[in-house]
Each structure stands twice: as C-alpha cells, then as structure tokens.
Amino acid sequence: MFAKIYPVLKPANNRALIDNETYQNWYRESIENPERFWGEHGKRIDWSKPFTKIKNTSFEGDVSIKWFEDGETNVSYNCVDRHLATHADQVAIIWEGDDPSLSKKITYREVHEQVCRLANVMKARGVKKGDRVTVYMPMIPEAAYAMLACARIGAVHSVVFGGFSPDALGGRIVDCESTFVITADEGLRGGKPIPLKNNVDKAIDIAARGHIMVKDVIVVRRTGNPTGWAPGRDLWYHEECAKVSADCAPEPMNAEDPLFILYTSGSTGRPKGVLHTTGGYLVYASMTHQYVFDYHEGDIYWCTADVGWVTGHSYIVYGPLANGATTLMFEGVPNYPDQGRFWEVVDKHKVNIFYTAPTAIRALMGAGDDFVKRSSRSSPRLLGSVGEPINPEAWEWYYHVVGDDRCPIVDTWWQTETGGIMITPLPGATDLKAGSATRPFFGVKPELVDGEGRVLEGATDGNLCITDSWPGQMRTIHGDHERFIQTYFATYKGKYFTGDGCRRDEDGYYWITGRVDDVLNVSGHRLGTAEVESALVSHHDVSEAAVVGYPHDIKGQGIYCYVTLMAGVQGSDELRKTLVGHVRTEIGPIASPDKIQFAPGLPKTRSGKIMRRILRKIAEDDFGALGDTSTLADPAVVDDLIANRQNKK
C-alpha cells in the first residue's frame, strides 16, 4: 500500500529555513564529517571558554560519550542573559492559567531576575555545583525558573512529573540522593487541586526510610490552601526570594558537566535516571527547536507537554529559551472548561507553532469539529506531534480540520534518552506522509536490524538502532553506568538500541511502529510493565501479576493486568477497584489499569518464564493465532484465560 504524499507546504510564504537541497547537503555533511558539521553548529550557543575538541564518542566497551569536552558554558546564561542586550523586554514566557481568565507575560529581563533570586536562595541554603535538586511543580513559570536556577549554579535538577505519587517521588529522591526540593502548595488542573506539598511531605518520610534526609523545601504559593508545614525545613518561595540579591553570576560549567537527571521507565526494574549534560544537550535542543519548528524571531511557540517530561525540558524550556523565543506554558488540560480550550488559547495568544501529542489529538477529534471551528486558528503556521505513533486518521484530522490544509505537520520521533528530536520532517524540505516521522535529523544515523542484529537494507521492517553519537544523547544512567551499557548497547553490540520497532518504506521514510520491549506508551506516557506488576504484587491479596498493553482508541495503549490472587481470596469488581486505586497510589493516576483479569494461573514455560506473547494476544482479543503453545508447562491455563478475557469485542 502506498501512502498519500503531501508535498512540501512552505510554512508562511516561503520563509522556511531549510529546503530539500539544503537538507540533503547538510545531512550528508553531518554524517560524512561530523567533526566539521558539529564544530560549526556547536557555535550556535555562547561559550565562556570555546571548545577545541568536538566529538569523542564510543558505543563499544565502556561506552563513553563526550562532545565539546574542553568547552565551558552555562545553560542559564544561554537561555536568559544572552538575550538581555537586545531582547530584554521581549516576552520569554506566556503563562496561561488553568482558569481561562488568568494569564501573564514574563519578559527575558523578568526571567533573569527571578532565576537569579532563586539561584541565590539555593546558594544561601548551601546548594553547590553537582548537588541534585528535586523539582515537583505544577505548570507555572516558577518551574522554569527552578530549572534555570539549578543550571545557573551548576546544580543538577531532577524534575518529577506532578502526577506521580509520593512513593514514586520518594524513590526518585532517594535514587539521586537529593536533599533539596522545590514544589508548590498545590497544582490546579481542570479546576481540581493537586496536593503537591502534601505529597512532598509523604515522599520525604519515604525517602527518610531510604536514609535520605531532605533538608530544605521551597514552596511556591499557588492556590493558598493550607498544607502541612515543617518549620525550619519548609520555606515560602516568595519570602526567600525577596531576601536575596537579584544578581547571580552564572557558574562556568564544563560541556560534560551534568545538567539534569530525568527518570524514565524501562522494560525491567525501577525507573532509570537518564543523565544529560550541558553543552551538547543545549546545542542539540536549540538546533532542533529552530529547524524542526522553523522558528523565526517573533514567533509565538506553544508546546503542550508538561515540564515533568523530556518534551517539556527540551521544547518548553531549554530549546526555545536558548533561541530567544516566546514559549507558552499552559497550566491546564485540553478539555477544561471544554474541548475547545487548545484552539481558544491559540487564538488568544496568536500562537504560530503548536506542538502536542497524538492522544490529545484523538481525544479532541472525538469531541467533534465544532469545538475547533469555533476558533479562527489564523495564526498557526506549523503543527507538531510527539510521544507515540500518530495514526493516519488523527493525522488527517489535525492537518485538515485544525490546520485548515495550510500547516505542515512535523511528526517528531525521539526519546527521553535522545535529548532532542531524531526523526522528523523539516517543514520546508520534506514531503509529508500521514503517520510517518519521515527522515533523520542532521547527524542521526538510523539503522534497522533483525532479531539477530543483521543489518537490513531498503524497504523493510526492523528494530530501530542509531549507529553513531549525536550531541544531545544521554551520557549514562545516574549511578549505574553498567545498566546504561546493558540497556542500550548490549542488544546490538556497538549500536544504540532504541527499543522501538520501525518500518522503512520505498522512499526511505521511517514509520515507527511502537515499542518492541516491555515498555508501554499510555497517552504518550511511558510506563514499564514491570513497574505496574510490582505495584500490583505489593497488595496483600495479590500473589502474582503480568501486565501487557493492548490497542486503545484514545490512549494509544491501554493497561491490561492479569492477576493471580492469594489462596482463599475471591476476585470481584470491588477488588478490581481496590487494585486500580492501589496502583494509582503506588505510581500515579497515569498508571491506572484499564482491565484487570483474575487468572488462577499464568502461561509459563517449563523454566517458569511468563509467555507475554500469549497474554498480549488474549488482551487484544486475537487468540485465534496464539502460535506455538507446546512449550507451556500447563497448556490448560490458556483456555481459562481466553474464557475469562476482559476485552471481548
């Protein structure tokens, strides 16, 4: 089958930065001569000490990745101070509140002052270069100030998504040994308060059991509702910031000094602390932001992600601010007060570039076109998609209805680990196909391999690897370099393995087909099946659990749990509710199981390995083709699983 081709639509009258010929030339150069290419583009940020070395990377042996390794710079300087001479009064952040009547605009000058003050508060409380600081915030400008203040003094931030539970937060505080937390009294989403500070209090108790004693908690007053308070430990953000100077010199940082840790789920074990460093990350985030979104000075840019995910790091905060852009930060949700909110905000702030996730597009598509048509949407020039494969129906709706056939769509494939966008159209250069992330960005060398690691050529399906380093790549897993090597470079020796399956078509376009490991993608949020399983078995009624994903119309994937109960415990709807609630408290609402099937036994091989392939098929209600079940220890369990499946069509 051949996909329809949407020829290049130049965003806003031929002003695209990169045309196809330039793409081809730059791409060739970036692959043939990465030193020359990145030596040139590395200069797009300011260095207090220019680099002389460019690329020093190896995917073999101990895996060592260094870019611009003798250069010195500061990310906060590049995102703020650098723009003051010419753009001090330009709006850096437009904040749109959950309540549609609340919004504010913050200039680069104001961001500078706020970041300096918070940096001084942290210094005064003893935070030093290299210390880890946990940020657990709603979508308010102070979240960006917190990140930039850390970067300014060389502290390493670990932003934890505000939807994660106290347990998940506590685990992350312990893993990176962080004793300083920045939070807010409450968040506000869809009119509902989120008890951030009270969650922090619980997380601190949990962390104490792991022998990490949190010493300072800086609290932004957002709703003003009462919360727990530990005198001496807890401090109001506004009070502390008022006491310190509005100037703070940026700390010179080596290009390879850590910038942040961000936890993400893998196929096994607990979430991993993905570590990104300073120079290469910023070069890559800012360069991809400029070219993928065809960013021009004066553009109003809106990425709807949360700062708790990598998309928020690279494309709400670091990329746009490094480019001196105006970045919109939205506190609310797509369906509050109603499903027209996104388009209302687009009109209200005259957004030119709009970047969101397929799950939101599908949900809004389901609400009907009237919510869209109510707005003019005359400002957007470009639309983006990220986080999961976008199905062609959603793509077409986004293109025709939201974009009025006028805006190119950039379907951007990347990962927490990659730091920035890896496979994507460039708006002025790439013909589009609905559902394809199209072609690699500069410096990205994709390769498809089969299960044995044999390289596949031409139009084919395979496992997606990247064969050489790019500046935005993660450098290690915090505290566990061996796990870094094992997770990413051991499956296919000498290559970075993404965990994604992918098809390359006859035009060399890439179509990501989804994870081939035990990682779920639920509404664009990444979850390990092992995490949900361990949350389930931590309940006293559960003896064993196996979790798989199944196709879900809105969420992309739904969470299907097979649960074996303790002897004597009876399965019931009541217990299903209890277990859903239990997983929500253990991990957070994003991990809520969609289906729970009580299973007296799970299909295991004689060596005791659970055969997930079979469980996936049954969850998809596609048990006609279970494949070979002869290696099962007890083939009869399969009949029971089929008879009691929860997803009958």
If the CB atoms of residues 254 and 327 are measured against ligand WT7, the closer one turns out to be 327
- Where does this chain touch ligand WT7 (CB under 6 A) — which range of 15-23, 305-313, 317-325, 585-593? 305-313
Binding status of residue 153 toward ligand WT7 by CB under 6 A: no
Q: Is 412 annotated as a binding residue?
A: yes
Q: Is 519 within 8 Å of 500 (Cβ atoms)?
A: no
d(CA 198, CA 187): 11
Antiparallel, parallel or unpaired: β 216-220 and 253-254? unpaired
Q: Is 255 within 8 Å of 277 (Cβ atoms)?
A: yes
Q: Using CB under 6 A, which of 352, 416, 529, 597 touches ligand WT7?
A: 416
Q: Using CB under 6 A, which of 119, 241, 434, 512 touches ligand WT7?
A: 512
Binding status of residue 438 toward ligand WT7 by CB under 6 A: no
Binding status of residue 310 toward ligand WT7 by CB under 6 A: yes
Binding status of residue 388 toward ligand WT7 by CB under 6 A: yes
Residues in CB range of 352: below 8 A, 6 or more apart: 12, 299, 300, 301, 379, 380, 381, 382
Binding status of residue 515 toward ligand WT7 by CB under 6 A: yes
Binding status of residue 500 toward ligand WT7 by CB under 6 A: yes
CA dihedral of 599, 605, 611, 617, whole degrees rounded to 10: -80
If the CB atoms of residues 74 and 469 are measured against ligand WT7, the closer one turns out to be 469
Strands (E), 392-459: 409-412, 432-433, 446-449, 455-456
d(CA 560, CA 433): 32
Binding status of residue 436 toward ligand WT7 by CB under 6 A: no
Q: Using CB under 6 A, which of 71, 319, 387, 588 touches ligand WT7?
A: 387
Q: Is 312 annotated as a binding residue?
A: no
Binding status of residue 499 toward ligand WT7 by CB under 6 A: yes
Q: Is 179 annotated as a binding residue?
A: no
If the CB atoms of residues 309 and 598 are measured against ligand WT7, the closer one turns out to be 309
d(CA 136, CA 184): 8
In the window 232-291, what residues touch ligand WT7 (CB under 6 A)?
264
Q: Is 314 annotated as a binding residue?
A: no
- Where does this chain touch ligand WT7 (CB under 6 A) — which range of 38-46, 511-519, 573-581, 587-595? 511-519
- Where does this chain touch ligand WT7 (CB under 6 A) — which range of 79-87, 142-150, 407-415, 485-493? 407-415
Q: Using CB under 6 A, which of 371, 413, 441, 510 touches ligand WT7?
A: 413
Query: Within 10 Å of residue 608's Cβ, how many Cβ atoms?
Result: 7
Binding status of residue 356 toward ligand WT7 by CB under 6 A: no
d(CA 527, CA 511): 22
- Where does this chain touch ligand WT7 (CB under 6 A) — which range of 97-105, 182-190, 438-446, 498-506? 498-506
- Where does this chain touch ligand WT7 (CB under 6 A) — which range of 234-242, 496-504, 543-551, 584-592? 496-504
224: burial class by Cβ within 10 Å (0-12, 13-18, 19+)? exposed
d(CA 395, CA 280): 32
Binding status of residue 448 toward ligand WT7 by CB under 6 A: no
β-strand partners of 135: 159, 182
Q: Per 3-state DSSP, what percentage of the chain is helix, strand, and coil (rounded to 5)?
A: 35, 25, 40
Q: Is 189 annotated as a binding residue?
A: yes
The pair of structure tokens assigned to 429 is 């250069």
Q: Using CB under 6 A, which of 153, 437, 536, 619 touches ligand WT7?
A: 437
Q: Is 646 within 8 Å of 596 (Cβ atoms)?
A: yes
- Tell the residue number behind the tokens 């509140």, with chain if given: 97
Q: Is 320 annotated as a binding residue?
A: no
Task: Number of residues interacting with ligand WT7: please give it, by CB under 6 A.
Answer: 23
The torsion angles phi and psi of 315, rounded to 5 degrees, stand at: -125, 10
Residues at the annotated binding site for ATP? 387-389, 411-416, 500, 515, 526
Query: Annotated binding site for CoA, which residues?
Result: 189-192, 311, 335, 523, 584
Residues at the interface with ligand WT7 (CB under 6 A): 264, 309-311, 386-389, 411-416, 437, 498-500, 512, 514-515, 521, 526
